[in-house]
Amino acid sequence: MSPDAFITLVPLATVAAWTPGPNNALVASSGATFGLRRTWPHVLGIGLGFPLMIFLVGFFFGGLFQTYPILREGLRWIGAAILLWLAWKIATSGGTSSAGGTPRPFTFWEAAAFQWINPKGWAFAVALTSQFVSPDAPLLSALAVSSVFLIVGLGSATTWAVLGQAITRWVNTEHRLRWFNMAMGAIIAGCVVLLFLD
């Protein structure tokens, strides 16, 4: 990757990782509801899962999605439906839930797997890898792009979780926590709408 391409990639990756979106809203809600220590696996799942997705999309799947756009579109719609369901669960039950209905934070594997159905993640993965992964050196350029996201993503997810935990001083009553989680659910639902308007 050329120095000019790298200089362009870093701010784009920073904006992608730090702007409000499903990952950041989920991890902030988890930080507020469960604290940073219990949210840490969620943070690592995002911080490691998204760069892995970037690498795999850039190195293996980019051409497949360009040849068969219906695959990418199908994943986009499935991801949107799951995000809307998560937004509803967060807004109405105080956090993400286990199958039994008891609120709990995401596990590492759930957060990493979530990257594959996150429409914002797909939008950035496809757009950035198509711009920055070179057909002449797909392995090295995919590694470079995913490495930038590893550093930026871990910093972003950690910060959003810390901010969520800091909010617990304000959301120290059930009423305030309910309003906070409703706001986080609304942000996630709004992100889905915005992604489909693009």
Q: What is the 3-state secondary structure (H, E, C) of 76-145?
A: HHHHHHHHHHHHHHHHHHCCCECCCCCECCCCHHHHHHHHHHCHHHHHHHHHHHHHHCCCCCHHHHHHHH
Q: At 6, which amino acid appears?
A: F
> For residues 42 and 60, which has the higher predicted lDDT (pLDDT)?
42
11-58 confidence digits (pLDDT tens): 878 877 887 788 888 899 899 889 899 999 999 999 999 999 999 988
Residue 135 has pLDDT above 80, yes or no: no
Q: Give me the pLDDT at residue 154, please.
A: 95
The region, left, alpha or beta by phi > 0 then psi within -120 to 50, assigned to residue 68 is beta
Query: For residue 93, what are the CA distances in angstroms to 25, 154, 164, 179, 180?
Result: 15, 27, 17, 11, 12
Token pair for 92: 């109405």
**Per-chain mean pLDDT for the chain:** 81
Banded model confidence at residue 132, pLDDT cuts 50, 70, 90? confident
Q: Give me the pLDDT at residue 196, please.
A: 67
d(CA 150, CA 115): 13
Domain ranges, ordered by start, for the chain: 3-197
Banded model confidence at residue 136, pLDDT cuts 50, 70, 90? confident
Query: For residue 171, what are the CA distances in angstroms to 14, 158, 165, 166, 188?
Result: 28, 19, 10, 9, 19
Token pair for 116: 């594959």
d(CA 160, CA 29): 9
Q: Give backbone dihedrals phi and psi of 19, rounded to 5 degrees, phi first.
A: -70, 150
Task: Say what the pTM is.
Answer: 0.73
Token pair for 76: 């986009």
Q: Give me the pLDDT at residue 109, please.
A: 97
Token pair for 78: 């499935």
Q: Give me the pLDDT at residue 97, please.
A: 47
Residue 191 has pLDDT above 90, yes or no: no
* Listed residue (103, 114, 128) closest to 46, CA to CA: 114
